[in-house]
Chain A
Amino acid sequence: MRNAFLTFEHVEKKFPGRVALSDISFDLPSGKVIGIIGPNGAGKSTMLKLMAGLLRPNKGKVLLEGKAIERRSSEDIAYLPDQGGCYTFYTVAETLQFYKSIYADFDHQKALEMIDFMQLELHRNVGSLSKGNLTRLKMVTTLSRRAPLILLDEPLSGLDPMIRESIIKGLIAFINFPEQTVIMATHEVAEVEPILDMVIAIKDGGIVHIDDVENIRLNYESSLVDWMKELFQTNKNPLK
């Protein structure tokens, strides 16, 4: 077994009336960009929240470098939520101050560089930002932390192509490889394909496949998007 950074051991997560994830086991290496992909309702966000310590498994274990992830693990984990994450009554500059005050690993200098890169204005009120700029700001606050694990929940959803591109470029420019590991839940696979090292494909709360993206391209001679379509649309396993 290779050096496991993040481990799921027979993880099950139930919500009233349904099982969101069942018997999930895997080891993920550090220093990679990993995508959790799958149709709506597959369990992507639930998996990410378990990694963030925001949910606890009903069965099994979630481990970061061998230690169980819990609420307090947020010291080592930067999590970008799907919704919320910034207070509307702050300005952009105040938001950075706020994050600096709660996270010891917040790199204010890096945050300012990213603000510049993302073309955000420090004096603007968060409440007046467009959806695209709000996502950019959330990206800044998340990536400015020196946390070894960065979790992004649907960082591109509902954004126009230009903004997606700037967010992806920001990700490439500011992630500290290989000290930081990025795991993102997304259904915008086409856009993130060039930056993913690995994918975890899930469906109906179970793992369909885990592999390196380059292996998928090599072995199935198709892009990740085509592979995924085939994987999720047909019930039969396309993997020979």
Chain B
Amino acid sequence: MGEEFSGTAPIYYQIVQKICSQIVRGELLPGDKLPSVRDLAIQLGVNPNTVQRVYMELEQLALAESRRGQGTYVTEDLSRLKQLREQLRHNKIETFVQDMKEMGFTADETANGLMEYLNGYKKGGTRK
């Protein structure tokens, strides 16, 4: 199929995440029109009901708005988008820190390791 989904989370949720990161990366801009439900369903190889749910979810998160008869658009509310960016950053960090904690690393070890890694990354040394 066009898209691979991981087994552990609902498909609609994975698509929501994907669209959120496209918004944060600037691939989707405020006011951009999202594909029609049918088109996105075909593109991703998923059920249109799933895409419908994705759009409903994005609306509830105030990240998109549907305009009657015209389709669904990325919100133009810049403060909401800024908030999304912060939220995603926070979530990723939270997951990472939680994982490190579970493996028994102290906060200092985690922070130092992260700094070391980032310094190496900046110099073009370690990649991923």
Q: Which residues of A contact B46 (CB under 8 A)?
A: 172, 194-195
A31 close to B (CB within 8 Å):
yes
Residues 190-239 of A contacting B (Cβ, < 8 Å): 191, 194-197, 213-214, 217-218, 221-223, 225-226
A32 contacts chain B at the CB level, 8 A cutoff = yes
Residues of A contacting B5 with CB < 8 Å?
A: 194, 223
Please, which residues of chain A bring their CB within 8 A of the CB of B41?
A: 172
Docked-complex contact B42 and A173, CB < 8 angstroms: yes
Convert A135-169 into 0s and 1s, putting 1 for each residue whose CB lies closer than 8 angstroms to a CB of B.
00000000000000000000000000000010011
CA distance A213 to B50 in the complex (A): 11
Segment among B8-16, B88-96, B113-121 that sits at the interface with chain A: B8-16
Cα distance A181–B28 when bound, in Å? 33
Q: How far is the CB of B30 from chain A (nearest CB, A)?
A: 29
Counting residue pairs across A and B whose Cβ atoms lie within 8 Å, the total is 63
* Chain A residues within an 8 Å CB radius of B48: 172, 175, 177
Is B106 in contact with chain A by the CB < 8 A criterion? no
Q: Which residues of B contact A194 (CB under 8 A)?
A: 1, 3, 5, 11, 44-47, 50
Count of chain A residues with a beta carbon within 8 Å of a chain B beta carbon: 25
Interface string of B108-128 (1 = CB under 8 A from A): 000000000000000000000
For window 37-60 of chain B, which residues contact chain A by CB distance below 8 Å? 38, 41-42, 44-50
Distance of A175 Cα from B1 Cα, bound (Å): 18
Residue from B7, B12, B45, B47 within 8 A of A223 (CB atoms): B7
Contacts of A172 in B (CB 8 A): 38, 41-42, 45-48
A33 within 8 A of B: yes
Q: Is the CB of A169 within 8 A of B42?
A: yes
Q: How far is the CA of A32 from the CA of B50 in the complex (A)?
A: 10
Q: A165-B1, A169-B42, A194-B44 are in contact. Are A177 and B49 (CB under 8 A)?
A: yes
**Would A214 and B47 be within 8 Å (CB), given that A168-B1, A173-B38, A194-B5 are in contact?**
no
A-side interface residues toward B, CB under 8 Å? 31-33, 165, 168-169, 172-173, 175, 177-178, 191, 194-197, 213-214, 217-218, 221-223, 225-226
